[in-house]
Structure 1
Amino acid sequence: MEIKHKSHFQETSNSKSFGFMPDNTEILSFELSNKNGMKVQIINYGATVTSLEIPTSKGKIVDVVLGFDSLSSYLESYYLPSAPYFGTTVGRYAGRIHNSAFTLNGKSYELTKNNNGNSLHGGNTGFGKKVWSVTNQTLGGNPSITFTLLSENLDENYPGELQVNLTYTLTEMNELKLDYKAVSTEDTIINLTHHSYFNLDGHNESVLDQKIFIDADKMLETNHENVPTGNFTALTNHDFDFRTEKNCPSSIDNSFVINQTNTVAAALFSSKNNLKMSVYTNQPSVHIYVGGNCFDVLKGKSDAVYHKTSGICFETQNFPDAPNQAHFPDSVLKKGEEYIQKTVYKFEKIN
């Protein structure tokens, strides 16, 4: 096979070939591991997490994220009736933008309508479908890897040439840290998130026996297209009040308003594996998602058959449709200023 392009980094001891894009660009898979036996595999297609192995107190290793074994499966997944976005980096704007339009500095922008007339997760070719470069690696201590993407001006009709750096760090405290930074040549809007589906019982199990906690007393009210109305729903006496942990619901697709502090924003618990995942972020919301209309026919890695309750997403981000809601947190990135998004998924054994 003729290789027209190679990844920025040649294969190293912690990377291997993951396949080839239609134009023969080679995609590599990189591994970060710590002294505790925790390992994460990330490919430079979409800066996507394909595997996250956690040692449990019962002496076994469990892969806690959904994914595929091959690049072709990731590529094909975007043609499903509802693309799952397994483990990917979502941008330029995570969530829905109403009527696929927004106004910035008095100018109107029309985006791709890829979700019931709305724009979802950056449009037809969001950041999860792009090839990222690897620009830095640190293998000792707390190993890390930095992926970089240059999104051209008017990419999916978003203004400004945007450079994004995403650094994954695996700490000795069993934390997977995600540090996003971005700068633009023009004023633009931005909302980046991570889209792993987690399952602490293992990626081939159901999440319904696991419990979740969310430190939120309200969530965004949405219309029938799941676009925010601009109002908020109080969670006291609501089925989705997870301030006291309760079982994962079989279907949820909601943005919870959280306080930006150093405390746990959300958590997932497995009594089967005595495992806890805590989520920390500097973002104003965590979007919780379980379900999807494509999962009953989806073959995942290691011959797992994924279904609607195979995993749960904790998408730390700004509010969907914030560009069209003046009272939502500001989503504008000014020319020359720096966007900073921080998210941590911390794994702990529980008794």
Structure 2
Amino acid sequence: MAGSTIEKGVFGRLPDGRDVERIVLRGAGGFEARIITHGAVLQALIAPDAKGGHDDVVLGHDAFTGYLSERKFFGATVGRYANRIAKGQFSLDGETVQLAVNNGPNALHGGLDGFDRKLWEIVELDEGAAPAVTLAYTSPHRDENYPGRLDVRLTYRVTGPTELSLSMEARTDRPTIVNLTNHSFFNLEGATSGTSILDHRLTVAAEHFLAIDPTAIPLPEAPRRVAGTPFDFREPRPVGERIRQGDQQLQNGRGYDHTYCLGRDGKLALAARLEAPRSGRIMELFTDQPGLQVYSGNYLDGTVLGKGGKLIRQSDAMCLEPHIWPDAPNRPDFPSPRLDPGQVYRHHTVYRFAVRTS
């Protein structure tokens, strides 16, 4: 209803007849976050521009059929393990766990039927000055062969006039691994603008990144310094300025598809800043996670129809995914993704929007 900070309705229906709901959270001056229960997806994010207009700045689909037919992770909650695990295999307390291999020789984003394909339950709506929705999903023991039952809760909350906060928690009944993220594809000119993100100016608060092999698994070496490489975004640089340089790492990732090492020690801090030149939109991303995957949309190939009936092509959007480092279950030198009974996995990310004033 008019003036309400929360709206709930049916967005679509699964083949088994269950409803997929959509929750709209409203901030100030037209700012909106729209979340659907399938995949706990951020389906739309409406943000102001420098001229007083508003646009949706995340890629995805206008109707649920698009999410059901294409698994592209648009806006999805990814788990149990975001990013890649080499050969889909890791050891935990002497047991070798074999996961499904679904990305070349590796496991990616939770396997064949990850959290992005699950119907989450709405467990709480909080209407008021900071409107929020809390969703829950329970992953059973041996789901995608991961050990332990995992109880997950996540909350999307509008925490400022143009600020969206995402908080996630998980608990287990036996030792396991967990690494969750949101996989939104951002274009700050607008999801249907038809413009590339290559001229977006990006800043990443990291001195190091993880070099990868051609299958996107981190190399067996210490994190590399960004200084003197095309991966140095410590100062604002256009995403596309150096993306075609003859660098082996850019070749391995077909562009940027690398984890930046944040070293946050569990404290919320600025990780990245993205600015669009025409709309004047600015997004600052704060997180408490130790890594940020910067992905320049290299594998978007025009085979998927997105919002507004537009084909989604390479570099139409980019992802900034906060999470634990890839292949960490096999790398004792990396931040640990282990979760034991009695512990709580926590993840907090904030997306703060502003506009250029000069």
Q: TM-score, normalised by structure 1?
A: 0.93
Cα contact 2:75–2:184 (8 A) shared by 1: yes
The DSSP-based 3-state class of the residue aligned with 1:150 is strand
Q: Indicate the residue corresponding to 1:117 in structure 2.
A: 105
Pair 1:194-2:194 in alignment? no
**1: CA distance, partners of 2:317 / 2:15:** 29
Partners of 1:111 and 1:123 within 8 A in 2 = yes
8 Å contact from structure 1 (residues 186, 336) kept in 2:
no
Distance 1:116 1:57 in 2: 42
- SS of equivalent residue, structure 2 residue 308: helix
Q: CA-to-partner distance for each residue in 1:149-203, whole Å, 9 max, x for gaps?
A: 0000000000001000010001234111000000001110000000000111011
Is the 8 Å Cα contact of residues 47 and 54 (structure 2) preserved in structure 1?
yes
Q: Who is 2:81 aligned against?
A: 93
Which residue number corresponds to residue 219 of structure 1?
Answer: 209
Q: What is the percent sequence identity of the aligned residues?
A: 35
Aligned to 1:304: 310
Q: Which residue of 253, 256, 261 corresponds with 1:252?
A: 256
Aligned partner of 2:303: which letter? V
Confirm whether residue 19 of structure 1 aligns to residue 25 of structure 2. Answer: no
Aligned to 1:138: 126
Q: Which amino acid aligns with 2:25?
A: L
Q: How many Å separate the matches in 2 of 1:62 and 1:138?
A: 25
1:348 is aligned to: 354
Q: What's the counterpart of residue 139 of structure 2?
A: 151
Deviations along 1:3-32, one digit per CA (max 9) or x if unpaired, are: xxxxxxxxx971121111111111011100
In the alignment, which residue of structure 1 is the partner of 2:57?
64
Aligned pair 1:285/2:291, yes or no?
yes
**Secondary structure of the structure 1 residue equivalent to 2:143:** coil
2:321 paired with 1:315: yes
What is residue 106 of structure 1 aligned with on the other side? Answer: 94
In 1, the alpha carbon distance for the partners of 2:171 and 2:100 equals: 23
Deviation at 1:272, TM superposition (A): 1.0
Q: Between 313-322 and 205-214, report the one with greater CA deviation.
A: 205-214
Distance 2:351 2:232 in 1: 21
The answer as to whether partners of 1:259 and 1:265 remain within 8 angstroms in 2 is no
TM-align CA RMSD: 1.4
CA distance in 2, matches of 1:27, 1:283: 29
Measured in 2, the distance between the counterparts of 1:172 and 1:35 equals: 8
SS in 1 for 2:45: strand
Give me the whole-angstrom Cα distance separating, in 1, the residues matched to 2:317 and 2:216.
20
Contact 1:183 1:336 in 2 (8 A): yes
For the 8 Å contact 1:216–1:258, the answer to whether it is kept is yes
Cα distance, 1:262 vs structure 2: 4.2
State the TM-score, normalized to the length of structure 2: 0.91
Q: 1:160 aligns with which of 148, 160, 182?
A: 148
8 Å CA contact 1:86–1:197 kept in 2: the answer is: yes
Structure 1 residues without counterparts, runs of 5 or longer: 1-11, 79-83
- SS at 1:221 equivalent: coil
Structure 1 moving runs of 4+ over 4 Å: none
The one-letter code matched in structure 2 to 1:268 is: L
Amino acid at match of 2:273: A
Any idea what SS the aligned residue of 2:97 has? strand
Distance 1:107 1:151 in 2: 20
Q: Give, in whole Å, the separation in 1 of the partners of 2:48 and 2:38.
A: 27
Q: Deviations over 1:62-98 (max 9, x none)?
A: 11100101211111112xxxxx210000000001000
1:281-314 residue CA offsets vs partner (Å, 9 max, x unmatched): 1110000111243431221112122111111100
CA distance in 1, matches of 2:225, 2:187: 28
SS at match of 2:116: helix
The amino acid of 1:223's aligned partner reads: D
Q: What is the letter of the counterpart of residue 303 of structure 1?
A: G
Letter in 2 for 1:91: G
Aligned to 1:81: none
CA distance in 1, matches of 2:94, 2:115: 26
Match of 1:74 in 2: 67
CA distance in 1, matches of 2:69, 2:115: 16
Q: Partner residue of 2:338?
A: 332
The one-letter code matched in structure 1 to 2:98 is: E
Letter of the structure 2 residue corresponding to residue 170 of structure 1: V
User: In 2, Cα distance between the equivalents of 1:265 and 1:214?
Assistant: 6
